[in-house]
Amino acid sequence: MVSKLVRLTILLTSTVFAFTLVVLLGSNLYRKKEIVRVIQPSAAAKLGPELQSMKEDSVQSFPVAYNSTHLWSMRVADKEHYRIVNLVPCRDVFYHAHRGTGINETMNHCNEKTREEFSVESTLQAQQWIFNHQNPMNCQNKRFAIIHKYAWSGFGSTIHQIVWALATAIGNDRIAVYQKPGGWQYGSCEWSNPDCLFLPISNCSVPTQIDGTQVIRLAADIDHWYRPAYPSVFQKRSFNWYRSQLLFYLMRFNAKILAHIQNTVARDFVPPSIDFHRPYIAIYIRRSDKVNREMGRAFTLQEYFDLFNADARRAQISTVYINSEDDSVFSEFETVNKKYGGYYKLIRIKAEKNIVFMTLMGMDTNQRGKIVLEFLTDLYIEANADLHSGTLTSNWCRLVDEMRFVLGKMLPFYTPEHIYHSDV
């Protein structure tokens, strides 16, 4: 049994590897017909005129790693997920934008508008548009923004500031590229920029002449969403949706990172793939350095469980993935679960604990790179969950929240803070 599973994992991992490689080579595996077949009819997107005008050829030439269940190795909302969506009671969720757009947005998974916007089809169209913008047939005479500076802050915060830079470039009709080397702190590789972890932001080479008009430099350490610009094609989209799409584009794992993540999952999970654990709920418990700063106070594990227990039971979800930089959460789990008569089954990853921003700052780039791999493994597991819980005052939890939006998952995020922040 075990060796069968191991073999299956090796097979799966190598399939992913080969798959990603093919994508990297720009191959055109999937025909339009197959893409259309798998879209959830209940969630068909109403697209803007420009997106609608995208013809079959452009869909065909878009090397999206999409095979009916996965989008670049991330599981998109599927039948099983929609089964759960339909069991969770309807409610309005208000996302508060404190800065940036300043526009608060309402989501409700029973509402047609939310379902349409956060549909898989809508994501495929957006990802295709962003990909085409960033990877044009011809890079000559294009306008560029060279991203050359990264925030010296937590990983989620740093990524959100790159998302802002990408939005600013695209909003001003520029292709965003990363300077090489770029002074990227999260892991060492020859480019020293986020391309070390993710698929290339663009296939254009970095311009050498910076004239301030055609080519500008853009620092990605300004703010999370400071005076954002929208291209006209996404003008009418919600902030939550648009930012999530940009974030997802930036964070498509490259083959090396994906293989690492899947090996880690195989090492720590029995059976060794997250597919065998669905449906599950992912909880990220942020404590330590955030408490009394962004977070008002720390919440007990019980407070998180109180939020989703009824829905989880209704949907027959009993597997919980828990992650936290605070190791005591796992002994808390034992106590909480006893109260529920042992209903919940815990899955977790062995990772270094008590890593907070100050610890990261004290590390060398290699060590930080290792921790980042743990973060990305966590992201992979959380994004593939069906229900999510955490605190949106944390950049990391917001990042997870955005990831799941892209995958077509619009159920409410369970938060003991009882407030939904789209920025802080």
| Contact footprint for ligand NAG (CB under 6 A) | 12, 15-16, 19, 26, 65, 67, 69-70, 73, 96, 98, 102-104, 135, 137, 139, 203
Please tell me whether the peptide bond between 207 and the residue prior to it is cis, using omega within 30 degrees of 0: no
User: Minimum Å distance from CB 341 to ligand NAG?
Assistant: 35
Q: Write the CA distances from 21 to 27, 199, 293, 402, integer angstroms.
A: 9, 11, 43, 26
CB nearer to ligand NAG: give 98 or 313.
98
Calpha distance 405→245 (Å, rounded)? 8
Given the structure tokens 């743990």, which residue do they identify? 374
Calpha distance 61→52 (Å, rounded)? 16
CB nearer to ligand NAG: give 42 or 69.
69
Please spell the DSSP secondary structure of 290-318, one letter per residue.
GBTTTBSS---HHHHHHHHHHHHHHTT--
CB nearer to ligand NAG: give 145 or 322.
145
What tokens does 413 get?
Answer: 């995020």
User: Minimum Å distance from CB 333 to ligand NAG?
Assistant: 29
Backbone angles phi, psi at 220, to 5 degrees: -100, 40
Q: Write the CA distances from 25 to 18, 29, 193, 283, 375, integer angstroms.
A: 11, 11, 21, 36, 27
CB nearer to ligand NAG: give 16 or 406.
16
User: Minimum Å distance from CB 20 to ligand NAG?
Assistant: 7
Calpha distance 55→45 (Å, rounded)? 16
CB nearer to ligand NAG: give 236 or 313.
236
User: Minimum Å distance from CB 420 to ligand NAG?
Assistant: 10
The set of residues, in sequence order, having a beta carbon less than 8 Å from that of 324 and lying 6+ positions away, is 284, 285, 286, 287, 330, 353
User: Minimum Å distance from CB 218 to ligand NAG?
Assistant: 21
User: Minimum Å distance from CB 393 to ligand NAG?
Assistant: 13
User: Minimum Å distance from CB 132 to ligand NAG?
Assistant: 7
CB nearer to ligand NAG: give 149 or 256.
256
User: Minimum Å distance from CB 409 to ligand NAG?
Assistant: 18
CB nearer to ligand NAG: give 268 or 275.
275
CB nearer to ligand NAG: give 203 or 337.
203
What tokens does 96 get?
Answer: 């508060």
Q: In what order do the strands lie in the sheet with 93-96?
A: 105-107, 93-96, 420-421
Calpha distance 251→247 (Å, rounded)? 6
User: Minimum Å distance from CB 55 to ligand NAG?
Assistant: 16
State how beta strands 144-150 and 105-107 pair.
Answer: unpaired
Calpha distance 43→41 (Å, rounded)? 5
CB nearer to ligand NAG: give 96 or 260.
96
Q: Write the CA distances from 399 to 27, 109, 394, 422, integer angstroms.
A: 30, 19, 9, 10
